[in-house]
Amino acid sequence: MQTPTVLVVDYGAQYAQLIARRVREADVYSEIVPASTPVAEIVAREPVAVILSGGPASVYAEDAPALDPALFDTGIPVLGLCYGFQAMARALGGDVAHDGTREYGRTELSLTDTSGALHGGLPSRHPVWMSHGDSVVRAPEGFTVTASSDRVAVAAFEDTDRRLAGVQYHPEVGHSPHGQEVLRRFLHDVAGIAPAWTTASIIDETVDAIRAQVGDGRAICGLSGGVDSAVAAALVQRAIGDRLTCVFVDHGLLRAGEREQVEKDFVAATGAKLHTVDAERRFLDALAGVSDPEQKRKIIGREFIRVFEVATADVLAEETVDFLVQGTLYPDVVESGGGSGTATIKSHHNVGGLPDDVEFTLVEPLRALFKDEVRTVGAELGLPEVIVRRQPFPGPGLGIRIIGEVTADRLETLRAADAIAREELTASGLDGEIWQCPVVLLADVRSVGVQGDGRTYGHPIVLRPVSSEDAMTADWTRLPYDVLERISTRVTNEVAEVNRVVLDVTSKPPGTIEWE
Ligand code: XMP
């Protein structure tokens, strides 16, 4: 049976993904479709409701995304938000004024009808987040106006008989404290959708889909130590048991404890068959004498593919494998506009004796999921907390957090400092506020210090704690002084080569999150 799905029509400006996430938080599955999707195509997908997102355009702009009024003849419940609200008002015969009425940011919403389906029973005045230029001045025929603001007369309307409603504000953002309740009411009460998208149902459906796809076949999955590959592998393991082989390349650029987390904890939690490749020496040799960041990245990427190929060839020597598991997430799918299901691992250099092109069919068990859902699924599958909660960590690992040449000693130094910083941040309960906190070793810089009776000539490490929604932009996290003090004291005492700890207070832009 097809999962009951809400389609979010994307009018731009990054609201659509947030709306889809909020719908799923109300236990209803949702997907995003572009504004250009024809109504016939929407109907063919049999959605249980449609939500029209906000967007930057004015409904009067020449290139404003169009809304086909035929959508409202289909009987599908529709909720319009912000731009979607105005487009809906216009399409149904209401009036939208291009009169310079603007509201941006926190605004008070006043209920004009306290018995409405979306807002009834909520405080008669409450804050919402607005962001609009035009405004709806007359609701379409058959709609009840249920809220206004100080500047706009029509801030929400509904026609519950036709299961249509809209709000001028953004219920999906945290600045609208009752927004989630309003979305929930639309989905459950107005549209009558049963809340069925739960962690348990995600796992059941995904496992069924993997079994259907892989059949009696075998699969291989590369683990990185991060949450996506671990959860993808755990789901496939649950579906096909030891017909899955996991491959873990230890390139020596991991942080303290990460190899053990995969080899011991992940395996204990899932029972997965794991093939670990010890490749530290190979990576260090390839990186010897290299300081240029782009060259480091290239070398690490190249070596990784080679080592993975060798490992794959080892597995292929024993069994036939048709499927390659990848941890692609829903935002990647949306942003790349879909995508196909076959990957070719090209054996560029034929080091592993693979045939010229080994073709695998991709298994992407996380393709429908947002990151927070992946974490919840991972926790439900019993994966170790350290893996499930792991902050983003770049593929080239500590290799791009040593400014200068990468050597075994420098890795040891950085690993020790990084472990202390992570330990103290976790102990202080700050993990939730921090997107990630790279610790960077300035290996080519030395500064004078004094420790005990002697002068030292050690290296600085940089703490780069950032807060972010998506890593595209970021701000430096205002860490409490006492936490910084504990990290600084411990690092300079416990890590021999480090005699200074400095804090990076640069936002992104202009600074990137990583230093290389
Ligand atoms: P920047 O430094 O560009 O980082 O602000 C944004 C996010 O991407 C991660 N990052 C990488 N991830 N390979 C990766 O897999 C890379 O080469 C790489 N460089 C940066 C970074 O950790 C942050 O989350």
CATH number, domain of 462, equals 3.30.300.10
Q: How far apart are CA 76 and CA 81, in angstroms?
A: 16
Three-point CA angle 142, 143, 148, nearest 5° = 155
Tell me if 418 is assigned to a ligand binding site. Answer: no
- SS3 state at 135: strand
82 is known as an active-site residue: yes
The answer to whether residues 143 and 126 belong to one domain is yes
- Which whole number is the average pLDDT over 363-372? 96
Residue 331 backbone class (left: φ over 0; alpha: ψ -120 to 50; beta: rest): alpha
Q: How far apart are CA 515 and CA 293, in angstroms?
A: 9
Q: What is the pLDDT of residue 338?
A: 59
Phi, psi (rounded to 5 degrees) for 239: -80, -40
In the predicted structure, residue 349 carries a pLDDT above the cut 80:
no
- SS3 state at 449: strand
Q: What is the band of 63 on the pLDDT scale with cuts at 50, 70, 90?
A: confident
Query: How many angstroms separate the alpha carbon of residue 11 from the centre of ligand 1?
Result: 28
In the predicted structure, residue 469 carries a pLDDT above the cut 50:
yes
Enter the pTM of the model: 0.90
Total structural domains within the chain: 3
Query: How many angstroms separate the alpha carbon of residue 383 from the centre of ligand 1?
Result: 24
- The structure tokens listed for 26 are 């109300």
The answer to whether residues 219 and 338 belong to one domain is yes
- Which whole number is the average pLDDT over 200-222? 97
State which residues form the domain around 44. Answer: 5-190
pLDDT cut 90: percent of the chain above it: 86
Q: What's the full length of the chain, in residues?
A: 516
**What CATH number corresponds to the domain at position 126?**
3.40.50.880
pLDDT cut 70: percent of the chain above it: 95
Whether 400 is in a domain gets the answer: no
Q: How far apart are CA 399 and CA 412, in angstroms?
A: 12
The answer to whether residues 459 and 346 belong to one domain is no
* 512 ligand 1 Cβ < 6 A: yes
* 395 ligand 1 Cβ < 6 A: yes
Residue 32 backbone class (left: φ over 0; alpha: ψ -120 to 50; beta: rest): beta
Q: What is the pLDDT of residue 241?
A: 97
Residue type, 386: V
- Which whole number is the average pLDDT over 173-193? 97
The answer to whether residues 291 and 436 belong to one domain is no
- Which whole number is the average pLDDT over 206-225? 97
Q: How far apart are CA 132 and CA 54, in angstroms?
A: 9
The answer to whether residues 380 and 260 belong to one domain is yes
Whether 472 is in a domain gets the answer: yes
Q: What is the band of 60 on the pLDDT scale with cuts at 50, 70, 90?
A: confident
Tell me if 286 is assigned to a ligand binding site. Answer: no
Q: How far apart are CA 279 and CA 208, in angstroms?
A: 36
Residue 271 backbone class (left: φ over 0; alpha: ψ -120 to 50; beta: rest): left
Q: What is the pLDDT of residue 359?
A: 82
Q: What 8-state DSSP symbol labels residue 266?
A: I
**What CATH number corresponds to the domain at position 288?**
3.40.50.620
- Give the position of tokens 């962690």: 199
Q: How far apart are CA 416 and CA 17, in angstroms?
A: 38
In the predicted structure, residue 144 carries a pLDDT above the cut 60:
yes
* 297 ligand 1 Cβ < 6 A: yes
In the predicted structure, residue 293 carries a pLDDT above the cut 90:
yes
Query: How many angstroms separate the alpha carbon of residue 421 from the centre of ligand 1?
Result: 19
Q: Which of 388, 423, 442 is the last residue of a domain?
A: 388
The mean pLDDT value of the chain amounts to 93
The answer to whether residues 159 and 254 belong to one domain is no
Q: What is the pLDDT of residue 251?
A: 97
The answer to whether residues 460 and 412 belong to one domain is yes
CA dihedral sign, ordered 413, 419, 421, 424: negative
Q: What is the band of 482 on the pLDDT scale with cuts at 50, 70, 90?
A: very high
In the predicted structure, residue 72 carries a pLDDT above the cut 50:
yes
Of 61, 125, 56, nearest to 96 by C-alpha is: 61
Q: Are 370 and 331 in contact (CB under 8 A)?
A: yes
Phi, psi (rounded to 5 degrees) for 500: -150, 140
> Quick one: which atom of ligand 1 is closest to the CA of 514?
2
* 201 ligand 1 Cβ < 6 A: no
The answer to whether residues 215 and 362 belong to one domain is yes
Of 67, 27, 73, nearest to 51 by C-alpha is: 67
The answer to whether residues 295 and 418 belong to one domain is no
The answer to whether residues 103 and 242 belong to one domain is no
- Which whole number is the average pLDDT over 116-137? 95
Whether 512 is in a domain gets the answer: no
- The structure tokens listed for 123 are 């405080």
The answer to whether residues 381 and 416 belong to one domain is no
- Which whole number is the average pLDDT over 180-189? 98
